[in-house]
Structure 1
Amino acid sequence: MNEFISWCKGRGYQFDGLEITCPPPGNCGNGIYATTGFRTGKAFITLPETDMINAALVVDLPVYRKKLAKIGGEKLKPMEILTMFFAFEDTEHSAWSPYLKVLPKEFNTPAFKGIDYDVNTLPLSIRKYWIDQKKEISEISEKLRRLFPELSHDKILWAWHVVNTRCIFVENEEHDNVDNSDGDTIAVIPYVDMLNHDPEKYQGLALHEKRNGRYVVQAKRQIQEGEQIFVCYGAHDNARLLVEYGFTLPHNLGAKVLIPQEMLLTLAKIAGIQVTREHEMVLEEVGLPSHLYATDEGPSWSLRTNIRVMLLEHWQMANGRWKKIIYSHDPIDDEVDEKIDEKLEIMLKELRNGVAEKAKKMPTDVKWMWEEQVKVCDVALQSFEKKEKLEEKEKLTEEYS
């Protein structure tokens, strides 16, 4: 680690008041800690933008310019280029050697460990991502091994994980020798990539300051001496964190239950709502998600709005009248609000019971994913109990006043 720190300083990185160490219990990789306090808005990590490892940087390096020329100038996509870079770089002789030496030798993701989930056993929140991840790894491995037979699948798998678990969103400039058809928004940034994830109490905001030619991480709030400094990788549930990064959080507010429209309509019918094709068309035009999130105190505005749509009568939907009702800033009529609550509670109980039944039937290695979704449903259902108690309290207060 000392060699890496010296290497960073020699390249113009600035990170005074920070240290890299392994947080307890010692099995979760390195983390960055503050050895002094930082005020809000203070940049505590800065480095030159020329050290952002992106596709443009790689294809302009002489060694990779030659490699790409030998394959007939076939353009690669950013993820393919970065994977190629980490697969080829020699740990001992690379200009990036001190950085390469501190990278993980293995990862705890299912893909790296060779676990192949049956997609039908996964919750909807992670199902598509798992399918897409498997496809991406397979296609990149096949392509790079076709172009560069000296690369093994295991080396490519490791390199892909380096990029996927450490890359940061950056709006890169287009490059003539890069296939930008899907955009170019990833870069691996040494030192910065050692900041761990906490979606609730993160203090760091990472920014590419193009005008100043540097990449910085600044404090979004005051940071106390001794704190581990976190950033937010995104509002991911634990299933997504495990599949993408190889870890989970004990109290993850990113937990969610996806409710696609087909499922929403089924639940509505169970709750006694008469859903017509006209309702379905309005729902499609409104286009609001019906998901449950652990961060919500109760069912979200968008979910409640979808229920409200399904309770509309024909005359309220005809000729686009529904728009004035749904998008009005006027308070919802108490009777309508109570009706929404009544139907939602029935629907969420049914959803909760369905998820719980699925959890019982699932293999041990994915059962916990479903159990987390049951907890999200429970939190949403508890909001109805809290609302009822609050209304009873307000009613008693009125009676005694």
Structure 2
Amino acid sequence: MAHAGNNINVSIMANISNAQSSLNCRWSKLLAWLKTQGMKTGADDLLVECKETPTAGNGLFARTSCTPSSLLFAVPPQALMNIKTLKSLYPTSGPTPLTATQMISLHLYINRPHGSEDSLDPHYGPYISTLPREFDSHPLTWIVRSKSGTESGGVLLLRYLPPSVHASLVKLHDRFCQDRAVVREYLQTANSYISSKYDTHLANIDDSSASNYVWAWLNVNTRCIYYRLKASKEDPDNLTLCPILDFANHSPNGSHMTPAPSDADIWDTAPVKPIGRGFRFLSPADVSVQEGKEIFLAYGAHPNRTLFVEYGFVNKLLGEVEITDGEVDVQDVVESLILDHKSGVFVKSVLEDEGYWGDWTLYCSGESAQPSWRLITALRLYCLFVSNNTIQHNAIQPWRDVIAGKREIISDGNELAWKELLITICDVIVPKAQASLDSLKSDSAEFELLVAAAVKQRALRGDNF
């Protein structure tokens, strides 16, 4: 048995060594390609390097000590993958112009590496070769496989997701399907043109090739970053894939690099051209980074539900005192509560007319947890109808006065009623989250349980929200 164990250890060490060797090789090829694109990769120009981390795959680490706001690296515009740099490869004069997400995912779909080989793309091959080879642990992969009838560990996990998480995942899947349908339609009209470009016959996106498009789309959804390309700052096509940046891991804490303002943002030019110094990234502005320390990229102050659905991971919870900022969606619980009442349809119509139907959450900030204003507003109206036992428009005027800021509350009784109802809602969420925890270790369920318990505790104390 000891001899077999030694063989296993040798095998594991060999796999780790091979993976590190492969990473080093692709990193070197990436830097060589970036140099041909005009990037400076000398010791004074590139202050980061890629290494494997113990728990999060690859990461970016400081090659040398960096003072605050040091220029870590600068990627030339032509090395970025976005709707402008790809436009010449994919004519959009057909019936359906492509969005940035659709165009980038199409390019990755065409040029996905086979197995452990490098991508053969003549334009971005060395960069594409550094992207993740699979997304088996991402929930979108699970739901796509479930739609095709594939049984796997990930597919089985879907049944344990909290309702709010599952609802968000369904919305993500809808977005994915819409993009896939547009790309499929585009390929039907541009297949011959693209095939001549790549000297190959491009198969349409069907069930047999769906996994390739899932891989491509998830690379875009999880790795693209905002990059000003359009006249409007809010244009959804203002995004890009950026070499080197891809290796940075997310952390809600720690040392975060920041993108420097682009020329387009500084001068607010329109139309915007991807010119100038490219995409530049700076070390943290408030602290120095020591040599060998990992440098993170903050994905935003997202709740674990969003991080899990969009990116496939969650922030680790360290206990009730250290609940991370975020929110818990209680849409399913509150909607059922309202519509099960005899006045439910009318309550829904009023909330819809006033813009308060849906998007009801419990959220935490710092060490405090509370219901959102939208949830409080909906519960106040519901309790008003329950207490009056009537359906009349004139009965809701006190509620309208509250949302208009003309009065603080409807009545003391109404305040007591909606807070008691809030406790009931928390009592529904807590056991559901606990059941998910008992069936499957889930940080998302743990988060829902902790926030709901904290909100309930505050409501029982009579705290003001």
- After TM superposition, the score normalised by the length of structure 1 is 0.71
Cα shift readout 1:316-367 (whole Å, capped 9, x = no counterpart): 977967566445499x58x95x973x44553333223212343466694586
- After superposition, residues 320-399 of structure 1 pair within 5 angstroms as 325-326=402-403, 328=405, 336=412, 340=415, 342-343=416-417, 345-359=419-433, 364=439, 369-384=444-459
Number of the residue aligned with 2:362: 292
Give the whole-Å Cα distance in 2 for the aligned partners of 1:324 and 1:230.
Answer: 47
Counterpart in the other structure of 2:39:
12
2:163 pairs with 1:109 = no
> What aligned pairs does 1:19-98 form with structure 2 within 5 A after superposition?
19-25=49-55, 27-33=56-62, 35-39=64-68, 41-61=69-89, 64-65=90-91, 74-89=96-111, 91-92=119-120, 94-98=122-126
1:291-331 Cα distance to aligned partner (Å, 9 max, x none): 1123361314614455556677999977967566445499x
Partner of 1:398: none
CA contact (8 A) 1:119 1:130 kept: no
Query: Separation in 1 of the partners of 2:178 and 2:379?
Result: 41
Aligned 8 A contact 2:252 2:315 in 1: no
- Aligned match of 1:281: 350
Higher alpha-carbon deviation: 128-137 or 75-84: 128-137
RMSD: 4.4
Partner of 1:134: 173
| Percent of aligned positions that are identical | 19
Taking the aligned partners of 1:150 and 1:239, their CA distance within structure 2 comes to 36
CA distance, structure 2, for counterparts of residue 386 and residue 220 of structure 1: 41
Query: How much has 1:240 moved relative to structure 2?
Result: 3.4
Amino acid at match of 1:23: T
**Structure 1 42/383 Cα, relative in aligned 2: closer, same or farther at 3 Å?**
farther
In the alignment, structure 2 segments of 5+ residues that lack a partner are 1-26, 114-118, 146-153, 192-200, 204-208, 268-275, 318-322
In structure 2, the CA distance between the partners of 1:230 and 1:319, relative to structure 1 (3 Å rule), is same
Paired with 1:241 and 1:263, the residues of 2 have a C-alpha distance of 23
Cα distance in 2 for residues equivalent to 1:221 and 1:305: 40
Q: Which residue of 1 aligns with 2:4?
A: none
1:250 Cα deviation from its structure 2 partner:
0.9
2:300 is the counterpart of 1:215: no
Match of 1:169 in 2: 226
Please give the TM-score of this superposition, normalised by the length of structure 2. 0.63
* Counterpart-to-counterpart distance in 1, 2:253 and 2:340: 37
Do the aligned residues in 1 keep the contact of 2:229 with 2:238 (CA within 8 Å)?
Answer: yes
Question: CA 1:159–1:301 in structure 2 vs 1: closer, same or farther (change >3 Å)?
Answer: closer
Partners of 1:374 and 1:223 lie apart in 2 by 35
Distance 1:52-1:208 versus aligned 2 partners, 3 A rule: farther
CA displacement 1:267-314 (0-9 Å, x = unmatched): 7999xxx99957973685263854112336131461445555667799
Is the 2:47–2:63 contact (alpha carbons within 8 Å) kept by the matching residues of 1? yes
For 1:366 and 1:204, the matched residues in 2 are separated by 31
Contact 1:34 1:223 in 2 (8 A): no
1:150 aligns with 2:218: no
The AA in structure 1 aligned to 2:220 is: V
Structure 1 range deviating more: 74-83 or 233-242 = 233-242
Question: Deviations for 1:100-155, whole angstroms, at most 9, x for unmatched residues?
Answer: 22211112213336444797864343334322333444454464364646243333
The one-letter code sitting in structure 1 at the alignment partner of 2:250 is H
Instruction: State the 1:44 CA deviation.
Output: 3.3
Q: For residues 131 and 320 of structure 1, what CA distance do their matches in structure 2 show?
A: 37
Q: Match of 1:217, as an amino acid?
A: F
Specify the alignment match of 1:237 in structure 2.
303
Local SS of the residue matching 1:19: strand
Query: CA 1:325/1:238 → structure 2, altered by over 3 Å: closer, same or farther?
Result: closer
Q: CA deviation at 1:378?
A: 1.1
Which residue does 2:251 correspond to in 1?
198
Cα distance, 1:300–1:239 mapped onto 2, change above 3 Å: closer
Instruction: Give the number of aligned pairs.
Output: 368
Confirm or deny: 8 A CA contact 1:356 1:370 kept in the other structure: no
Conserved in 2, the CA contact under 8 Å of 1:209 and 1:215? Answer: no
Alignment partner, residue 177 of structure 1: none
- Aligned partner of residue 299 in structure 1, secondary structure: strand
Q: After superposition, what is the alpha-carbon deviation per residue over 1:150-171, rounded to whole angstroms, capped at 9, x for unaligned?
A: 2433332222222122111234
